[in-house]
Structure 1
């Protein structure tokens, strides 16, 4: 019997968390599901633990593959998914027992291509609710979505695929998959295409997903050696998407402001977090300032832009003046910036 929902769970070094993740999926009030664990060449016992669960429940299957990154793992799961809808859960997170029933109910009732929810951000000290960044409790039509895409980065609704349920037929119609060349911040290029293709979307103001800030994950590591390369690939994917769909003129400012607010500070903070010498860090900052995405955003965004906070204006001004020493000093004193690569 064809399941209503396919849940794809990539795994890499999540041995400490995968049991809680699996148990939350097995407790789902929606029984018509299949759970696809994708062992992305994990060196720990994640794959063995998933296999043990597969022996307990026929709805579970496990894929073992060489390490290829999160995009590759998700794509491997999508290739064998049979459900009417596809959802994603990261192996170090867990979900409310009603998550997939609630999202699937809304999707079926309102003929949705995408159904989404809020989530909780969980640390060792606290849990914080993050509501959806789109209007809730009403169906957004294609015209509504086109309007929201103009501020996709400002509103951040394209961050994180795991808070959404996608109609598989819609994804297959546009041949949508994750870009396997992007191994960091891969969600937003996928979501740009998914929301552009969607005809009907609805958000629930319910915290159904539990996102764990795992200090061992790539996202939370202080220094990310692949950040520069992958953010540039992400930028090229987004600009290509805008060009292919005639959206460049109306979406350009949103992307460039986002780069100035979030990604340039991330790139500079990442450079300062490396173990290199002071001289090498300044050289690396100069290198960051030479990236096409940085130069374009810095050139086209005014220092006094109303959406920039004081610290962001300082960084932008120092970038315009090309001051690697002062940028290094700024980030060493300030520490890790808040935000995400999106």
Structure 2
């Protein structure tokens, strides 16, 4: 076979479900003079069998088998074997357009370019990827006839993905360029930083020739990036250090050091601030050394003030002493957060030093972010996680996922702790009891200045599960590993979000303790008495779920609690008033969304799960089993049907 025009490198590791689609798209290219080098990186599924089947039918398929070493080592193995004039890259769980390599090759020859970059389609459409990713993979046409440092570090449409890049093999061979096999996240960017400064010409075309599956369960990216957020940041630190070494080799290239510093500082800072203090200290020490070697002191005052402040934070953290936190405190910060500064100040007055404070910025307003940033600099125990606005439950889960301490508790931005020793004494009691859940009494007040006043305790005095279920998840300390092992998470249950979490956390263990002091103070603020019909349905479905939990865990108290909540004036009125039917065409609502049918169905399921004998056995009155709200919803339904009938 004549020398191939393009060597297509495909790393393969346990992708039997997607591999044939990928291979078909590459082997059916309009450019036929290609070789397809498939690097089997120690697959344990049927991937190798699939490769051999394709090799039997097409001599262009070349199989290179090796022990599992990760994506960079697999690509390096492919580079070693490649004979093509140009090298292209395809990930085995993606696929390409039929004319991808013909267009890339023809562009390279026409423009006399060492590197050609194209755009890509993003799949699946749901869930939707970030706006950044769409912008990144939608480049415009341009050509660089000489190296441009801004192109490498500030033009996101040229980097970081290697799979949309065609590179002249003679360039790779001349400088013996290879991927760094110790870089597992961002290895594409690190390799491009080696290649681009040496290329005589780089051309970018707008054609979307690659089909990128950005979200796939079990993918390397999901495991390494989304599974452990702190690992991602630490790997980014390794990436920056590796690129810094490359930059120093090419430091004669115009503006390369300045562009690297301008890029790397904010790139790392935005995630660095949510690291644990232990990881912060180690990474900050390393990064300050890296940036100083790349000339930060020289270029410092040419940078905007906000970037200098970021480096100041790194420098301050590098001087901190590491602490191993005994308690993680998670606080979601939403749009309003009227009492945010008072709450953070109250926390920082706590005598417990060995704690971490996880502030989850869930899309708050700018003035609140300024407060968060101020306290971030003030106390390095604060970890600030900035996320795109999401649900309250997801914000709590994101904070819980980051927690490093043995124990965890939660707080709202309008509440406070009873006194300066509250957390310290509470965690000491929890540790001494060695439990999974430790509750405490709490109360509601209007203002923090009234701490000497009378408390209205709302905990059940009985020494049983009731005191926990009548409490609140904010006034509980949980063993972090216990929550993770049992996969106890917050779910978007509207007004039941906290109660559902509390019930599951308290009923999945017998290792509970009760701290007989008031620690957590709720500010008595207005709660809305209206939720949408859809949210009412969610609430009722959660009650069904909790009724099943009460049966599974043999907890009569939870059954009674659910029935009391349903029959209470507050929740009962919300359900009745917000599931009312309205007149509409059946064609508009074919599933009966405009009626009380779903509400009635959920309430009937709750009634069917209520066990009268079970409740009697535990000393509860049969009257507790009557669901007044079910009667009220059915009455409203009958009224609606009667009115509808009279109009016909």
TM-score (norm 2): 0.44
Whichever of the two has the greater Rg, that structure is 2
- CA–CA distance in structure 1, aligned partners of residues 378 and 253 of structure 2: 27
2:597 maps to none
2:219 maps to 217
> Is the contact between residue 273 and residue 383 of structure 2 (CA under 8 Å) also seen in structure 1?
no
| CA separation of 1:16 and 1:240: change in aligned 2, threshold 3 A | same
1:339 maps to none
1:19 maps to 20
2:384 aligned to which of 321, 327, 331: 327
- CA–CA distance in structure 2, aligned partners of residues 259 and 18 of structure 1: 35
- CA–CA distance in structure 2, aligned partners of residues 220 and 257 of structure 1: 28
2:237 maps to 232
> Is the contact between residue 11 and residue 91 of structure 1 (CA under 8 Å) also seen in structure 2?
yes
Q: CA deviation at 1:44?
A: 2.0
Unaligned runs of 5+ in 2: 311-362, 389-393, 399-648
Instruction: Provide the secondary structure at the position in 2 that maps to 1:327.
Output: strand
Q: CA deviation at 1:68?
A: 1.1
Instruction: Provide the secondary structure at the position in 1 that maps to 2:166.
Output: strand
Tell me which moved more, 14-23 or 317-326. Answer: 317-326
> Is the contact between residue 42 and residue 66 of structure 2 (CA under 8 Å) also seen in structure 1?
yes
2:488 maps to none
Confirm or deny that 1:292 pairs with 2:287: yes
- CA–CA distance in structure 2, aligned partners of residues 227 and 48 of structure 1: 33
- CA–CA distance in structure 2, aligned partners of residues 291 and 216 of structure 1: 32
> Is the contact between residue 131 and residue 207 of structure 1 (CA under 8 Å) also seen in structure 2?
no
Confirm or deny that 1:141 pairs with 2:151: no
Residue pairs, 1:191-270, within 5 angstroms: 191-213=192-214, 214-221=216-223, 222-224=226-228, 226-246=231-251, 250-267=255-272
Unaligned runs of 5+ in 1: 272-280, 337-342
1:4-45 Cα deviation digits (max 9, x unpaired)? 100000012222211111111111111000001111112222
Q: Name the Cα RMSD after superposition.
A: 3.6
- CA–CA distance in structure 2, aligned partners of residues 247 and 314 of structure 1: 42
Tell me which moved more, 186-195 or 248-257. Answer: 248-257
2:60 maps to 59
- CA–CA distance in structure 1, aligned partners of residues 164 and 306 of structure 2: 34
TM-score (norm 1): 0.80
Greater RCO, 1 or 2 (C-alpha within 8 Å, sep 6+): 1
Residue pairs, 1:1-342, within 5 angstroms: 1-123=2-124, 125=126, 130=135, 136=141, 138-142=142-146, 146-147=147-148, 149-156=149-156, 157-213=158-214, 214-221=216-223, 222-224=226-228, 226-246=231-251, 250-267=255-272, 271=275, 281=276, 283-292=278-287, 296=291, 304=306, 320-321=377-378, 323-327=380-384, 333=395
Instruction: Provide the secondary structure at the position in 1 that maps to 2:196.
Output: helix
Instruction: Provide the secondary structure at the position in 1 that maps to 2:222.
Output: coil
Q: How many residues align structurally? A: 321
> Is the contact between residue 95 and residue 212 of structure 2 (CA under 8 Å) also seen in structure 1?
yes
Q: CA deviation at 1:286?
A: 4.8
Q: CA deviation at 1:317?
A: 5.9
> Is the contact between residue 28 and residue 97 of structure 1 (CA under 8 Å) also seen in structure 2?
yes
